Structure 1
């Protein structure tokens, strides 16, 4: 290690013989400086480059080691410097006092050079590791801030062209002077609905961050889950057909006209759409994804497909960024779905096997008229 890279140690002792012995123990590995009083040590530390570690005698005239340690720990410039007390005192109370003031270690005179070197090395290695962890933590925080800024900018920049995607077909559809045939109107309506879905996705990305932080302001209303499922099935039917998968809705008894739960419609749609889309992509070709409304008051919907979740993926199925064997997968679909369910005071779980495939069961609070919510 070069002189510029060598770690710096300050020895503080009013006895020249002790300074000489300590210096001989450490100079071959470290850059060593000395101070013969507490006042001199403070002046050196605060007016020059701070050392990486201090070996500090306790019994010194005018200002003892305890007072030096106290002042160092009170000053932001020096509070993080590790201090090892070196003293002839051996009372347990003295050692406790030094540690309570912020010292990291305590060695007594007469001392062994090998022990001094080992203690110094251990504490310097620990400090260096702490510094590296702190540096990495600062980098991660900077990356997180940069990611949030980029996401915020992206959401803003996406809204500008999206205004055209939404407003232009809407203007054309509302223009009575245009004689649009049904096929053209259908195409414009498809563009319009796709634009609104994209706008909802942009808004949802910000909402998911708030859900993770526990700051999302839930505004629950009575939501017709049957209506939400119908929208999801209609919007994903083309995707299902491309994967040669059927979408089937199932009622345990007579078909329900409506099933009200307490939540937010956009959240319900996003949660259900994510799970159905995943089920479509996990299904064998020629099979079906079945959405079943459940009569159990604590459960409301299940989504079943014949695909099987790999054993390695099951413990982390709902974890963030967890994805197995899915090309282009982000690992956010099931994670965001469960996060949404929990935000709406519900939850979800799954069962999977080679014999039965995979079923995800969603639990959401049923609508209670007495709660003052109007369907």
Structure 2
């Protein structure tokens, strides 16, 4: 947590907050909760009484507010008063109109109702006339100490994380607009070009721009899924058409030409209702990985069929993975292709099992190569498929 400098309160405030009753509660808690235990918590932590006043805290809290060894300026205060929330300028913490929307206030009230709760708190501070914003993740739980009810509050400063997420979304949005502009300009050039060479060059620019736009949208999709902000949009899927579009792209890719890899699609006709964006990204990631893992002159095979009332999609290549690699295959950031890779198979499993209510696994051998399998319910109203806790590719 970034240090929050604390301006001196008046003597009246000191006397009103750090009262004998507060000190008595503090001393009772100190006998039951050893300082080493609460100080081992890395985040600022406070214990509140039923009046939401601080009666105990750890070293991380006093360092965060710049009040080391100054218990009389911490004990008895409410969290917003201590952190100098703008709403406490003329009110006590929790008593101003905007407090009803405060994540910390909501979490503490829930704890007072007997529930453990976690809420985001957007805190705007006013310290010596300087405005600064913070974002905290506030975890609040009721705790019983010597038959007296208190509430323990943990504060995690996630300001940098939220800022990074916001900047990344803004960057991706602006980048996508620029790439779409390139694609539109390339299309106009292609339509007006008088020579074959110029038309082919413009077509190449348009093709690369659309590929970049696809990658940007894929990253936005992944970011939304990781932050649990992704909404699933189910619709009827023409699976054969979707698979054909992915296969056609990679069939003509530079990677296919360099390694002389061919692709073979075997898609049965059946209906499927699911999120088209996610399924497209899943198949695209599996096909891309299959190309990269294939040996020279290899064959990548994509199959889809209805099996046991579900859709089963398999992507296979002729390469085999070693046991150490198999143990890591779905883990985030693991890759055999060097730094900066490793989200492909992880995103496949995350999209499939967290959002499409299916399951993902693989098997690999020297004789049969490597086969990734995706099984999805044919309808979003069907039962979610039971996830396999031990992916088949890891079994002896």
C-alpha contact 2:272 2:311 (8 A) present in aligned 1: no
CA displacement at 1:279 relative to structure 2:
1.4
- Which residue matches 1:248? 263
TM-score with structure 1 length normalisation?
0.58
Task: Give the aligned partner of residue 42 of structure 2.
Answer: none
Long gaps (5+) in structure 1: 1-38, 57-70, 83-96, 104-129, 369-375
Other structure's SS at 1:364 match: strand
Question: 1:231 deviation in Å?
Answer: 1.9
Task: Return the alpha-carbon distance in structure 1 between the equivalents of residues 204 and 276 of structure 2.
Answer: 20
**Are residue 219 (structure 1) and residue 240 (structure 2) matched?**
no
Measure how far apart 1:275 and its partner are: 0.8
- Taking a change above 3 Å as real, the CA distance of residues 171 and 72 of structure 1, as seen in their structure-2 partners, is closer
Q: Distance in 1 between matches of 2:305 and 2:23?
A: 75
- Using a 3 Å threshold, how does the CA distance of structure 1 residues 180 and 228 change in structure 2: closer, same or farther? farther
> 2:21 matched to 1:78?
no
> C-alpha deviations, 1:254-291, integer Å up to 9, x for none?
x75x5543224333322111111111112222322222
**Structure 2 portions without partners, runs of 5+:** 1-17, 33-46, 59-143, 381-396
In the TM superposition, what whole-angstrom CA distance separates every residue of 1:11-39 from its partner, at most 9, and x where no partner exists?
xxxxxxxxxxxxxxxxxxxxxxxxxxxx9
From 320, 341, 344, the counterpart of 1:308: 320
Q: Which residue of 2 aligns with 1:349?
A: 361
Asked if structure 1 preserves the Cα contact closer than 8 Å seen for 2:180 and 2:213, the reply is no
Distance 1:173 1:164 in 2: 14
Query: Is residue 210–residue 216 contact of structure 1 (8 Å, CA) maintained in 2?
Result: yes
Q: Deviations over 1:302-335 (max 9, x none)?
A: 1111222332343442232232x22245221012
Following superposition, the deviation at residue 150 of structure 1 comes to: 2.7
Contact 1:45 1:78 in 2 (8 A): no
Give the CA RMSD over aligned residues. Answer: 3.8
- Asked if the contact 1:240/1:280 (under 8 Å) is kept, the reply is yes
Distance 2:48 2:310 in 1: 60
Query: What is aligned with 1:280?
Result: 291
Q: Is the 8 A contact 1:298 1:364 kept in 2?
A: yes
Q: CA 1:41 to 1:292, structure 2 compared with 1: closer, same or farther past 3 Å?
A: same
Change (3 A) 1:153 1:45: farther
- Name the CA distance, whole Å, in 2 between partners of 1:217 and 1:72: 37
**Alignment of 1:332 onto 2:308:** no
Higher-RCO chain (CA-CA 8 Å, sequence separation at least 6)? 1
Partner of 2:371: 359
Q: Deviations over 1:236-264 (max 9, x none)?
A: 2324335515132143xxx75x5543224
Q: CA deviation at 1:213?
A: 4.8
> Judging changes above 3 Å, is the alpha-carbon distance between structure 1 residues 44 and 345 closer, same or farther for their aligned structure 2 residues?
closer
CA shift, 1:78, in A, is: 2.5
* SS of the residue 1:286 aligns to: coil
Specify the structure having the higher radius of gyration (Cα): 1
Residue of structure 2 in register with 1:191 after alignment: 205
Query: Paired residue for 1:100, among 132, 147, 167?
Result: 147
Structure with higher strand content: 2
